Amino acid sequence: MFGEHFITFQGEGSHLNLVGAPVIVGKDDFQGVQIAASLLCKDFAAVTGHQPEYVSYATNTGISCPIDDAIIVGSLQSSLVQNIIRESELAIDDIQGCWEAFFTIVVEKPLQGCKRALMIVGSDKRGAIFGIYTLSEQMGVSPWYWWADVVPTPRSQIFAKQSRTRRGSPSVKYRGIFINDEAPSLTGWVLEKMGTCYGVEFYEKVFELLLRLKANFLWPAMWPGYPNPGNSFFKDDPLNQKTADIWGIVISTSHHEPMQRAMAEWFEENPEGSWSYLKSKEKIQQYFKDGAERAHPYESYITIGMRGDGDRAMAVDDPASVLAEIIKDQRRIIADTYGSADQPRQLLALYKEVQEYFENGLEVPEDVTLLFADDNFGTIRRLPTSDEAERKGRAGGRIWQQLYEAYRRGADQIWVFNVGDIKPLELPLTFSMELAWNVNSIATDDFMTFFKAFADREFSPSISEAVAELLYGYDRLIALRKHEHIESDTFSLLNYSEAENIIADWKSLLDRAQSLYSNVQSVNQPAFFQLVLHPIKASYIYTKLRVGQAKNQLFALQRRNEANVIAQEVLRLFDEDFDLSEEFHHLLGGKWNHMMRQPHYGYRETWHAPSRDMISGLCFVQTRQDSNPISGYMGVAVEGTEGIRPGLTNEESDRTHPSRKDLVPGLTLPTLEPFGQQSRYFEVYRRGTSSLTWHLKTPYDWLIVSPSTGILDDKNNDSRITVKINWLEVPFDFQQTVQIEVSSTVGDYEHVHLPITNRNPPDDSFSGFMESDGSVTIEASSFCRPARNELHASNYQILPFLGRTRSGVVTLSQSVHPMSATNSEFLEYDFWTFSEYPRQAILTIYFTMTLDTSPKDPLCFEIMIDDCSSGSLRLIEDPGITGDLPPGWLLAVQDGVWKKNIDIGEMTRLKKGSHIIKLRIWQQNLLVEKLVLNLGGVRDSYLGPPESTFVSRRQG
Ligand SMILES: *[C@@H]1O[C@H](CO)[C@@H](O)[C@H](O)[C@H]1NC(C)=O
Ligand SMILES: *[C@@H]1O[C@H](CO)[C@@H](O)[C@H](O)[C@H]1NC(C)=O
């Protein structure tokens, strides 16, 4: 996607026009190169409407008829390429011996009978293949053209640029995917479209996709179960393994399938046989041997080690020593088969307990690649220490930061991504593969360039800016929390308008996506639907439905008529979700039938997907029934609370009197103050069969309610009233709870209580964040010092596209050496408190979810309040058992953040006035999102309070 273009669509007569030029490939070149060359011809047909001739060139026969212009492709190993290099004296030293590199050049008279050619020359088989697909991509054929129905822009002229270009080698040597959890979606689709199993017809599509993405590595589908005995790449279709090798894909097997055998094979061959090395040693050794021998002719990466039954730890007394023995035996088998114990390449997955054995001294041969796992949520659990990074086998490794961190720490041998069904992960997989190819291709502060490049490639440049904005907006919203962990009560319905704001953000994104969708050309709509509209719409529906469930429950407790309306809306969204999946399935005559079949709702019981969608807990009120007369027809609910006591108003008084005593808190709004949130709201609602008119009365002119009167009837069961203050007219020292009277034409009468505190502005010389509502909240990237324009000279950097915040996260610069990190300057945040010696002062720092990846170097930071230091604090508690996940992991990983509480009261007593929070961090894997100082007013919510008001110095 990135890198210099060697073609152009605008040229002059003298330029080499590739349209119509035959594609020439050496007859003795790798079969995989020949396949790529023939697909290149098809790509030309798709772009130009004209399929070029495919010429298979044998040195002894030459080209049969004279041609002017040609495209010559091949590896350095083909005699065609070798001849031309020799005859035309082409320099090749910048790719010779390189891994998967290629160059392009225009050569005059490369062959007898050919005037001119664009040559694409690979250092090896995949170098040539990647070169060929780079040409395809540059002409507009997306790697996803088949997988996401991306239609190239038609071209009538494609010119080769004169200059030589070079590409390679990749940052990560083996890059690829793990097809996993593939039932029911992918499996349903494969069985319908590709015959009876995961055979070569399916895998050729996968191989082609991987190579077009410049990937080279695959852990094939291996899901056990329906249809029994589960998927086996090696057995389902005897051609699979051989074909992978021909195409150029390195086959390996997942973390618990040793020696190039699919787990399903064992169960098929040994329905009774126990998968226990101690009990079935001979049988298992033979099984290993068969795997090694079968893989021998093909390019393979052999997984060694062994886990217990069902991908669990081995159930033996001393699993570590059994594992050591197994590895020794496997090495012997490999040596017997291949003639050497360290050929071919091998990997050991340090997954769960295996990581623990490893930390405790399990010996792993030097050449074996250590594959460090994530926590199933994209957080890398362990990375090489400096010694391990020097290993001959090197180390293989959600996001840019985790990948970049992996690379920076030396995990540059294998990156394998669990992509589930492949669809609909087009964007993240593209992102990962671009980064694996060139880890510097996507800059920390410039993901827009990536989104734009992706949008450019998949759609026409005329809409790519708008598409990039949508993809970016989606990426930011999806980062808040994974859908499967969003429950009805995840986002706060009552505090900080959190749920409402999130829904509004999704809605605005969806509106933009939908309007763009209706404007794109119809040939591009299927791709737009798959890559842009569907994910946004699905997310909107899902989030809205979850919030609707919460609203329905709350409204029902309040006995609102509207509860039933919301219940219907939830059911409508539930159907809309299914309709959307159906729309996906019906697209293009059913091409992607089954792909969205995985249930979306009802994941509570286990990690397994439920069998079908289920939502629970909808509530209804009997709207034909009137409320008890002492409760009245009209209810009032204020921001921040569920209601007086849900369902109950005025129970103890007659209905001409307002709520008193313990009912008052349920009608009290959060405070309004000049440096805080500038509006509050409450709602009046109908809870009976009568229609009514309501009126508001406020005690002061500067207290503005809008609207101040309205009607509740069958057309309108709810009204929201916004409350604001004209501060200029509020008396200087005003501090009082005022009452807003609400009355109705059917006799209801209630008071809404609103605390108002006027505040003196701070000294003119102060700049910083202002306390309001009992808290100070600051986004980490809003530090006051170092100065923004001098950030580059500091130890810190902002990653603007990370985390749950709007403005990104702060971390240590990639270039800071660990030795000097402990002397880093502090990030400083100025703030002002109005509270004098507050009873409570808890600082909560939100850190993006990461894990200690180095056993001896845990993630640490330090806080200072003014001049008092917390000393060094560890972010994550010790797991107890080495290799285990730390306490609190499950919550943190779902939230995407660690929330670290520090009792400031224990460090200092805060006085009214100006203060500084200072923070420094000591590792690159620490990412700070936001700081919340709770002085007693913070309300529960998912994201925490919005950022406090910042005032700037007022003097000259
Ligand atoms: C208001 O509530 C009544 C009674 O439940 C219902 O019939 C009506 O449809 C609701 N109005 C709206 C606009 O939802
Ligand atoms: C709002 O905040 C209050 C105070 O922290 C809390 O008790 C309540 O559960 C929160 N409500 C919601 C819906 O988040």
What CATH number corresponds to the domain at position 672? 2.60.40.10
| Statement to judge: residues 467 and 437 lie in one domain | no
Q: What is the pLDDT of residue 398?
A: 46
Same domain, 159 and 185: no
Residue 603 lies in a domain: no
Instruction: Please identify every stretch of the chain with a pLDDT value under 70, giving residue numbers as ranges.
Output: 62, 64, 225-227, 386, 389-399, 605-607, 646-656, 955-956
Residues 6+ apart with CB under 8 A from 131: 73, 102, 103, 104, 120, 121, 122, 167
Cβ–ligand 2 distance for 638 under 6 Å, the answer: no
> Are 680 and 559 contained in the same domain?
no
User: Is residue 541 in a domain?
Assistant: yes
Residue 385 lies in a domain: yes
User: Is residue 940 lining ligand 2, measured as CB closer than 6 Å?
Assistant: yes
Q: What is the number of the ligand closest to the CA of 685? A: 1
428 and 480, same structural domain?
no
Whole-number pLDDT of residue 252 = 97
Please tell me whether residues 157 and 209 are part of one structural domain: no
Ligand 1 nearest-atom number relative to CA 565 = 14
Q: Measure CA of the first residue to CA of the last residue in the chain; give whole Å.
A: 50
State whether the beta carbon of 865 lies less than 6 angstroms from ligand 2.
no
CA of 638 to the centre of ligand 2 (A): 12
Ligand 2 lined by 492 (C-beta under 6 Å)? yes
Q: Is residue 554 part of a domain?
A: yes
779 touches 806 (CB < 8 A): yes
Distance 689 CA to ligand 1 centre (A): 10
Shortest-distance atom of ligand 2 to CA 494:
13
Q: Nearest C-alpha to atom 14 of ligand 2 is from which residue?
A: 492
**Looking at the CA of 690, which ligand is closest?**
1
> How far is ligand 1, taken at its centre, from the CA of residue 624, in Å?
11
- Specify if 551 maps to a domain: yes
833 with 915: CB under 8 angstroms? Answer: yes
Shared domain check, 163 and 197 = no
Last residue of a domain, one of 442, 475, 510: 442
Is residue 624 lining ligand 1, measured as CB closer than 6 Å?
no
Please name which of 25, 28, 31 lies closest in space to residue 244, comparing C-alpha atoms: 31
Domain boundary (726, 757, 788) is at 757
**Beta 634-638 vs 680-686: how paired, if at all?**
antiparallel
Q: Which atom of ligand 2 is nearest to the CA of 939?
A: 5
**Separation of CA 567 and ligand 1 centre (Å):** 12
Atom index in ligand 2 nearest the CA of residue 492 equals: 14
- The CATH number covering residue 912 comes to 2.60.120.1620
Tokens at residue 520, please? 């794109």
DSSP string, 410-477: T--SEEEEEEETSTT-HHHHHHHHHHHH-TTSS-TT-HHHHHHHHHHHHS-HHHHHHHHHHHHHHHHH
Whole-model pTM: value is: 0.95
Nearest to 573 by CA among 506, 631, 623: 506
Tell me which residue has its CA closest to atom 14 in ligand 1.
565
pLDDT in tens, 36-84: 999 999 999 999 999 999 999 987 776 767 888 999 999 999 999 999 9
**Pocket mutation for ligand 1, best pick of 551, 621, 623, 633 (most atoms within 8 Å of C-beta):** 623
Q: Do residues 752 and 772 share a domain? A: no
Domain that holds residue 538: 454-591
CATH number of the domain that 75 lies in? Answer: 3.30.379.10
- Mutation to probe ligand 1, out of 555, 561, 568, 719 (largest number of atoms < 8 A from CB): 561
Best mutation site among 496, 842, 940 for ligand 2, i.e. most ligand atoms within 8 A of its Cβ? 940
DSSP H/E element including 397: none
Our answer on whether the CB atom of 232 is closer than 6 Å to any ligand 2 atom is no
243 and 356 inside one domain: yes
Residue 619 lies in a domain: no
Q: Last residue of a domain, which of 702, 724, 757?
A: 757
**82 and 143 assigned to the same domain:** yes
Q: Is 12 in the pocket of ligand 1 (CB under 6 A)?
A: no
Is 617 a domain residue? no
Does residue 730 form part of some domain? Answer: yes
Helices (H), 14-139: 31-48, 79-88, 125-139
Q: Does residue 318 share a domain with residue 205?
A: yes
CA of 939 to the centre of ligand 2 (A): 6
Is any atom of ligand 1 closer than 6 Å to the C-beta of 718? Answer: no
- CATH code, domain with 332: 3.20.20.520
Quick one: which ligand is closest to 940's CA? 2
DSSP H or E segment with residue 508? helix 498-519
DSSP state of 531: I
Same domain, 889 and 928: yes
Distance from C-alpha of 115 to C-alpha of 206, rounded to nearest angstrom:
37
**Number of domains the chain contains:** 5
Among all ligands shown, which has an atom nearest to the Cα of 713? Answer: 1
Cα-Cα-Cα-Cα torsion 550, 553, 559, 563, nearest 10 degrees, comes to 60
Q: Based on the domain organization, do 287 and 154 belong to the same domain?
A: no
Q: Would the CB of 494 count as within 6 Å of ligand 2?
A: yes
